[in-house]
Structure 1
C-alpha cells in the first residue's frame, strides 16, 4: 500500500497556473514529491533522469499532446508500467480516448477525484 508521501508524481501542463493547481491538489493529499514540466518533451527528459510513480498530463499542449506523450511513455520499455492520467474537460474527453491513457481527471482538479483516481491505479493511500 503506497503512502501519499512516498509517491513521486510528474505533472505536465503548458499552463503554469494549472501546474500549480495540480501541485496544490496533490499536496492536500499528502504527496510531497511533485515535479512539474511545461512540455511533453521536457517531461520525457525528466523521466530519463528520475523515477516517477505517476504522470498527470494536460491533453492539449503544443508539441507533444497528452495522448502523444502517453503513447511514448507506454511504448518505452522502462516507463511502460507508469500510469498516465490525462487532465481535460469533459468537452475534449472523446477526442482523447486512447488505449494508452490509464485514467482521465477533470479540470479543474478536485482533491476527491484525484484521490479516487490515484487509489484506483496505485492502491489505497495511507
Structure 2
C-alpha cells in the first residue's frame, strides 16, 4: 500500500494564500505566484476584490496530478461568488508556489471552454508535462 504524501505545508500555503486573497492583500497573495501565472492571478484577484468584505473562503477540492496539486477555492459573501482553480508545485527549496490560475466561476468545469478532445490533450501536455 502506497503511503500518502504529508502535505500539511501545502494546506497551510493554500490557507494563507486564500486568506490574503480574500482580504485583498495582493502582496501577500502574489508572494506564492510564479511570474508566468501572475497575469491570470491578478485577473482572478481583481474579481475576488469585487466581493464585499468580509469574504468567506471555502476549500472545495484538493487533488494531486502528477507532481502538482490543484486546489479549488470558493470566495463568497451574500450573492457574490468566485470559484478559482490554483495549480501548486513544490520548489526545490520546499516552498509551494502557484504555477497557474483559472477562474472557473462561469463554467460547468475547467474543460468547458476546450473545443475538442485533441485540443484538451494538447493543452494539458503543453501546460504541465503530466498528460
Q: Which TM-score applies when normalising by structure 2?
A: 0.26
Give the helix-richer structure, 1 or 2: 1
Q: Which TM-score applies when normalising by structure 1?
A: 0.27
Give the strand-richer structure, 1 or 2: 2
**Higher Rg of the two aligned structures:** 2
